[in-house]
């Protein structure tokens, strides 16, 4: 990198390596559309104006904007490794992501994080990793690893590490837990991401005072406003199951827009291919009435400012030549994507390949005794706590329902909307199985089992019969992790996820096709219309830091009380 040579190009003394001619530049600094050329050398923008290049690409008056930034994503949720993920999102215009690898860290610990860091090298996507802060998410459940501050310190100075990932155990922060505060203190001079679903008032103040800088868990406009007032940055999230962007846009005003950015958090490949990635968030905002430049600014400059990324987020001298080219300001659909001044995607097609290492430390991770599978639910009362789904959200309701019993054993009623759900510990052969009931999922005949269950990623299974649930779990073990759908005693569909039980090296189109087939089969099995993405909805039923009622391998967990609770309850309970 020779900045003196850049200056010679900027001054017009020498030709740029590449010049994009006749651009309509989206200037996110002054919120103007400017007609000019973009001069590029060494993969960086060195001048805006009228330039000549050794190579010239005529944009013919197309709009050119900075590459888009996802402010918070778990790459593992795409079910493909970082190279495959890049092939998914780069054609959609995303050139930078802030990634939290806590999914694989909960399975494989430091080996998992190191795998993600290595796989993120040499791909046309800027991947900035946030060290996972909560492995496991809470005490009282069993993940594949436990990471303390001393463990994180070994990776703190890795060039791919940006800061501390979402601090999900917000009660531990607020109550002064030493272990979580050791991690915050370790990363005090770095970015520290938050995760505080709609906490307000003094608890929020304490959380921010601890050093938390962002939150992506807002579901209500008033919560967004309180976070901005408290000095936080807020992500407007649009994933596969959790879709908060349109609701939160109601709170957006010119006075606060600089504190807002976009993220996907968890989005399946089929949805990315069909809808888009961060450009989908941008287009939602535009359709809701936000000016296109403001929407693009949220996806570029705001995110770069939040995460202190000096070389991306705008089109200006010294910035990386990460650029998207599109036809209409009212709908951002990139037709050309540049990364470091090179064309890496065109007309939605990636122009690069994806290869994954054969690292064995993140394979063969599913361990449980299939002969110990027993989903018998013993009850002391007919009145039970039931997990209730909420549309478009990973939050749940705590319901009270009357059920049938025989000799103290739960009997499934095919006419009811209740399904049995179980979480099997799959890391250490403990034999733990947590069992509960779920309302609102809708399938009437069959079972689905997955090694994706946030965030400990034990084996979660949901079904209308114990026999189908057992078959599904045994098949997951046979394929070393993944997703299995069973109906009437027969395995209908499988998606092997051989890397930590979370990801595969298979081509993303194959993965997307299989996911769609699984979803379509579940619709035939009676999947409720309120379940937008059955796999993400099921996976988040196991995360005991998202209200209200969740299930772990050690039983039902009341997030509001932050403790395990029995499945039985009194008739007069009002929950």
- The whole-number average pLDDT for the span 11-15 is 96
Torsion of CA 171, 174, 180, 182, to 10 degrees: -170
- Kindly state whether residues 11 and 128 are assigned to the same domain: no
Q: How many domains does the chain have?
A: 3
238 falls within a domain: yes
Sign, CA torsion 156/159/160/161 = positive
Q: What CATH number corresponds to the domain at position 37?
A: 2.30.40.10
329 falls within a domain: no
- Kindly state whether residues 250 and 191 are assigned to the same domain: yes
- In the chain, the percentage of residues whose pLDDT exceeds 90 is 86
186 falls within a domain: yes
Q: What CATH number corresponds to the domain at position 145?
A: 3.20.20.140
Asked if 400 contacts 384 with a C-beta cutoff of 8 angstroms, the reply is yes
Sign, CA torsion 499/501/502/504 = positive
**pLDDT for res 570:** 63
- Kindly state whether residues 14 and 89 are assigned to the same domain: no
Question: Collapsing DSSP states into helix, strand and coil, what is residue 473?
Answer: helix
- Kindly state whether residues 27 and 77 are assigned to the same domain: no
Structural domain of residue 495, as residue ranges?
363-564
- Kindly state whether residues 32 and 84 are assigned to the same domain: no
> Domain boundary at 302, 337, 359, which?
359
498 falls within a domain: yes
- Kindly state whether residues 21 and 122 are assigned to the same domain: no
**pLDDT for res 168:** 87
pLDDT > 50? residue 572? no
Give yes or no for a cis peptide into 410 (omega within 30° of 0): no
Question: Collapsing DSSP states into helix, strand and coil, what is residue 399?
Answer: strand
Asked if 411 contacts 405 with a C-beta cutoff of 8 angstroms, the reply is yes
326 falls within a domain: no
- The whole-number average pLDDT for the span 530-542 is 89
Tens digit of each residue's pLDDT (9 = 90 or more) over 176-234: 999 999 999 999 999 999 999 878 999 999 999 999 999 999 989 999 999 999 999 99
- Kindly state whether residues 23 and 129 are assigned to the same domain: no
506 falls within a domain: yes
> Domain boundary at 324, 340, 359, which?
359
**pLDDT for res 574:** 39
- Kindly state whether residues 482 and 557 are assigned to the same domain: yes
- Kindly state whether residues 52 and 112 are assigned to the same domain: no
Between β-strands 409-411 and 404-406, what pairing exists: parallel, antiparallel or unpaired?
A: antiparallel
Tens digit of each residue's pLDDT (9 = 90 or more) over 474-525: 999 999 999 999 999 999 999 999 999 999 999 888 999 999 999 999 999 9
Nearest to 252 by CA among 211, 275, 218: 218
The overall average pLDDT reported for the chain is 94
331 falls within a domain: no
Question: Collapsing DSSP states into helix, strand and coil, what is residue 526?
Answer: coil
- As given in the structure block, the two tokens for residue 175 are 């109550």
- Kindly state whether residues 551 and 477 are assigned to the same domain: yes
Tens digit of each residue's pLDDT (9 = 90 or more) over 232-291: 999 999 998 788 999 999 999 999 999 999 999 999 999 999 999 999 999 999 999 999
Tens digit of each residue's pLDDT (9 = 90 or more) over 399-454: 999 999 999 999 998 889 999 999 999 999 999 999 999 999 999 999 999 999 98
The CA distance from 267 to 238, in Å, is: 8
Distance, C-alpha 368 to centroid of its chain: 27
Asked if 260 contacts 252 with a C-beta cutoff of 8 angstroms, the reply is yes
> Domain boundary at 327, 359, 391, which?
359
Between the alpha carbon of residue 379 and those of residues 7, 410, 567, the distances in Å are 76, 7, 8
- Kindly state whether residues 416 and 537 are assigned to the same domain: yes
Buried b (16+ CB within 10 A) or exposed e, 467-506: ebbbbbbbbbbebbbbbbbbbeeeebbbbbbbbbbbbbbb
In this prediction, residue 307 has a pLDDT band, given cuts at 50, 70 and 90, of very high
For residue 526, what are the contacts with CB-CB under 8 A and spacing of at least 6? Answer: 442, 443, 444, 445
Biggest CA-to-CA distance, the chain: 90
- The secondary element (H helix, E strand) that includes residue 247 is helix 245-248
- The secondary element (H helix, E strand) that includes residue 192 is strand 191-194
Tens digit of each residue's pLDDT (9 = 90 or more) over 85-128: 999 999 999 999 999 999 999 999 999 999 999 999 999 999 99
334 falls within a domain: no
Count other C-beta atoms under 10 Å from residue 205's C-beta: 14
- Kindly state whether residues 355 and 400 are assigned to the same domain: no
In this prediction, residue 545 has a pLDDT band, given cuts at 50, 70 and 90, of confident
pLDDT > 60? residue 575? no
């Amino acid at each position: 990198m020779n900045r003196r040579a850049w200056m010679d190009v900027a001054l017009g003394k020498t030709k740029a390596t590449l010049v994009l001619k006749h651009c309509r530049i989206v200037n996110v600094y002054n919120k103007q559309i400017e007609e000019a050329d973009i001069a590029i050398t060494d993969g960086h923008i060195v001048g805006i104006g009228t330039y000549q290049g050794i190579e010239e690409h005529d944009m013919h008056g197309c709009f050119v904007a900075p590459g888009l930034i996802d402010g918070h994503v778990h790459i593992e949720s795409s079910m493909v490794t970082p190279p495959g993920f890049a092939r998914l999102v780069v054609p959609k215009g995303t050139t930078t992501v802030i990634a939290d690898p806590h999914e694989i860290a909960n399975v494989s610990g430091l080996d998992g994080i190191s795998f993600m860091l290595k796989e993120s090298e040499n791909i046309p996507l800027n991947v900035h990793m946030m060290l996972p802060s909560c492995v496991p998410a809470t005490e009282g459940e069993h993940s594949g690893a436990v990471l303390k501050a001393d463990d994180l310190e070994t990776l703190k100075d890795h060039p791919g590490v940006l800061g501390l990932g979402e601090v999900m155990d917000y009660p531990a922060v607020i109550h002064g837990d030493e272990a979580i505060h050791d991690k915050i203190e370790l990363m005090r001079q770095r970015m520290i991401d938050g995760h505080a679903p709609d906490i307000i008032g003094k608890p929020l103040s304490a959380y921010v005072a601890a050093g938390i800088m962002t939150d992506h868990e807002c579901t209500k406009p008033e919560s967004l406003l309180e976070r901005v007032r408290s000095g936080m940055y807020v992500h407007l999230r649009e994933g596969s199951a959790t879709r908060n962007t349109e609701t939160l846009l109601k709170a957006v005003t010119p006075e606060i827009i600089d504190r807002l950015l976009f993220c996907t958090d968890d989005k399946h490949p089929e949805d990315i291919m069909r809808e888009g990635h961060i450009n989908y968030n941008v287009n939602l905002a535009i359709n809701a009435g936000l000016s296109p430049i403001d929407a693009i600014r949220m996806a570029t400059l705001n995110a770069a400012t939040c995460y202190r990324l000096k070389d991306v987020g705008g089109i200006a001298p010294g910035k990386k030549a990460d650029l998207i080219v599109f036809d209409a300001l009212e709908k951002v659909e990139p037709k050309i994507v540049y990364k470091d001044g090179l064309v890496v995607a065109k007309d939605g097609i990636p122009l690069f390949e994806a290869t994954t290492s054969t690292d064995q430390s993140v394979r063969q991770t599913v361990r449980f005794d299939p002969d110990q599978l027993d989903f018998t639910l013993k009850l002391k009362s007919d009145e039970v706590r039931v997990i209730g789904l909420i549309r478009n959200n990973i939050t749940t309701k705590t319901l009270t329902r009357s059920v049938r019993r025989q000799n103290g054993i739960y009997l499934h009623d095919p006419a009811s909307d209740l399904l049995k759900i179980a979480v099997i510990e799959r890391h250490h052969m403990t034999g733990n199985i947590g069992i509960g009931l779920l309302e609102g999922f809708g399938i009437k005949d069959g079972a689905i089992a997955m090694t994706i269950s946030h965030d400990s990623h034990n084996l979660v299974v949901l079904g209308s019969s114990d026999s189908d649930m057992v078959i599904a779990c045994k098949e997951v073990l046979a394929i070393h992790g993944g997703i299995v759908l069973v109906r009437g005693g027969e395995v209908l569909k499988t998606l092997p996820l051989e890397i930590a039980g979370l990801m595969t090296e298979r081509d993303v189109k194959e993965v997307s096709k299989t996911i769609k087939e699984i979803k379509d089969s579940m619709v035939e099995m009676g999947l409720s219309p309120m379940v937008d993405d059955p796999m993400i909805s099921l996976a988040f039923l196991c995360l005991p830091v998202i209200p209200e009622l969740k299930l772990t391998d050690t039983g039902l967990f009341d997030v509001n009380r932050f403790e395990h609770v029995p499945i039985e309850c009194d008739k007069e309970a009002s929950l």
